[in-house]
Amino acid sequence: MIRPSRARGARSPHRPPSTTAGGALAVAAAIVVVVASALAPDARAQPSAWPRQAVRVIVPYSPGTGADILARTLGTRLAERWGQPVLVENRVGASGNIGTASVARAAPDGYTLLMNVNSHVINRSVFKDTGYDPIRDFAPVSMTAWGRLMLVANAGTGLRTANDLVKEARANAGRFNYASPGIGTPHHVAMEFFKQQTGIDILHVPHKGTAGAVTDLVGGQVQVMFLPIHVAMAQVRAGRLNALGIGSPKRDPSAAEVPTLAEQGLKNIDTDMWYGVLVPAATPRDIVVALNRAVVDIMALPDVRAGLAKQGLDATTSTPEAFGKLIEADLARWQRVVEQAKISASD
């Protein structure tokens, strides 16, 4: 976990003005100097008195997704901290490209933020034109969380573990297919990565959103899927789906009974999703730093961390620089998976 260092500016002491010479005019002038000097540290701590008006957080996905949960959690606390409205706007479409591109084109003034997931980098390899460059057009602010994907199966399949799926898929070609919320989504590329690492071949059935995919999975029209933990566990505990494993280096506290894929001998299958805040590329550095400080402070609050953990989200923050390096590394990582699987939005 990466944690940025934080430093606060120190207020310089001011000597009270003399009133023994110069009369009332000198006293008035000295008061002006003292007041101006006293205000200077506050101006540095809150750059250009930002924010002076409502701030928008664009979520390029539908309500109830991990990005939406994080944006609303963070937005509520930012509004309290700033004394300004923080408005969460779900701008959906094109696997997140529509909302993300709108932020790339927004004024770089600190009043439009983006809460995104690793689709931010996956999409560049999947779409011919996303409408934005995931690195050039944005300034990273901070990570907000890691989200974990769980491999699940329709209860009627009889599959109980990830190894069951691998064994059955190898022995019965064509028996299994899998759902995703759409081409190029983290759920989709995670399964393609799983297929590459295990050597199985199962058919992809893309849907228009998570709700439809889960409906078909529960109904048996498709057999398996990677799902965010907070979505999967509701169905697992209702007996409609079986949890086969978690694609993460460690178990998740909200589903502690479910082993990781690595614990089942399926090594090097890490499907964790990062979430984070970004702003348009030319946003002033002092605003990025102030926003980073606010995000780090809020995500460290015990009640915030506990609430997110119940949703399968592991609150995590970073410096802008560390987040930028993660974005660059993830771009290269998922590009290799997409190219090997020949994933294209035109399919």
Read off the CATH number of the domain in which 101 is found: 3.40.190.150
CATH number assigned to the domain comprising residue 235: 3.40.190.10
| Cα–Cα distances in angstroms (integers) from residue 251 to residues 145, 180, 184, 199, in the given order | 15, 23, 25, 24
The pLDDT assigned to 18 comes to: 39
Contacts of the segment 95-98: beta carbons below 8 A, 24+ positions apart: 95/119, 95/123, 95/126, 95/127, 95/182, 95/183, 95/184, 95/185, 95/345, 96/60, 96/61, 96/120, 96/123, 97/60, 97/123, 97/127, 97/130, 97/131, 97/132, 98/60, 98/131
Residue 1 lies in a domain: no
Tell me, yes or no, whether 2 lies in a domain.
Answer: no
Do 69 and 124 belong to one domain? yes
Q: What is the pLDDT of residue 312?
A: 87
- Global pTM exceeds 0.85: no
Confidence (pLDDT) at 16: 37
pLDDT reported for residue 321: 98
Regarding whether 320 and 253 lie in a shared domain, the answer is no
Indicate if 277 and 244 belong to the same structural domain.
Answer: no
Say if residues 189 and 341 touch (Cβ distance below 8 Å).
Answer: yes
Query: For residue 48, what pLDDT is reported?
Result: 61
Q: What is the pLDDT of residue 32?
A: 37
Which one of 264, 284, 300 terminates a domain? 264
Give the relative orientation of helices 119-126 and 320-341 as an angle to the nearest 10 degrees: 40
Domain match, 214 and 298 both? no
Q: What is the pLDDT of residue 284?
A: 97
Q: Which domain, by its residues, includes 201?
A: 149-264
According to DSSP, the residues that pair with 143 across neighbouring strands are 276
Same domain for 303 and 260, yes or no, is: no
Considering the domain architecture, whether residues 174 and 245 belong to the same structural domain is answered as yes
Residues 6+ apart with CB under 8 A from 337: 189, 192, 193, 196
Asked if residue 329 is part of any domain, the answer here is yes
Q: Of the candidates 229, 246, 264, which is a domain's last residue? A: 264
> Mean pLDDT of successive 10-residue segments in the chain (347 residues)?
37 38 41 37 55 97 92 98 97 92 98 97 93 97 96 97 96 92 92 96 92 95 95 94 95 92 94 97 97 98 95 95 97 94 83
Domain end: 264, 297, 325, which one?
264
In a domain, 26, yes or no: no
User: Which H or E run contains 158?
Assistant: none
- DSSP, collapsed to helix, strand or coil, labels residue 251 as coil
Interatomic CA distance for residues 266 and 194, integer angstroms: 9
Looking at the 3D structure of the chain, how many domains does it have? Answer: 2
Instruction: Dump the DSSP string for 191-218.
Output: HHHHHHHHT---EEEE-SSHHHHHHHHH
Q: Are 239 and 159 within one domain? A: yes
Q: How high is the pLDDT of residue 49?
A: 86
For residue 183, being part of any structural domain is answered with yes
Co-location of 54 and 75 in the same domain: yes
130 shares its domain with 230: no
d(CA 127, CA 106): 22
Given this model, what pLDDT does residue 1 score?
A: 38
What is the per-residue pLDDT for 34? 36
Considering the domain architecture, whether residues 141 and 157 belong to the same structural domain is answered as no
Residue 129 inside a domain? The answer is yes
Partners of residue 178 on adjacent β-strands = 204, 224
Q: Are strands 241-246 and 149-154 parallel, antiparallel or unpaired?
A: antiparallel
- The answer to whether position 335 is within a domain reads yes
Same domain flag for 127 and 177: no
Q: Name the CA dihedral angle for 209, 210, 212, 218, rounded to a multiple of 10 degrees.
A: 160
Start-to-end Cα distance in the chain? 38
In a domain, residue 208? The reply is yes
Same domain flag for 82 and 125: yes
Q: How far apart are CA 117 and CA 59, in angstroms?
A: 10
Looking at residue 46, its pLDDT comes to 52
Report pLDDT for 112.
98
Beta strands in the chain (DSSP E): 55-59, 86-90, 112-117, 138-147, 149-154, 177-180, 203-206, 224-228, 241-246, 273-280, 313-315
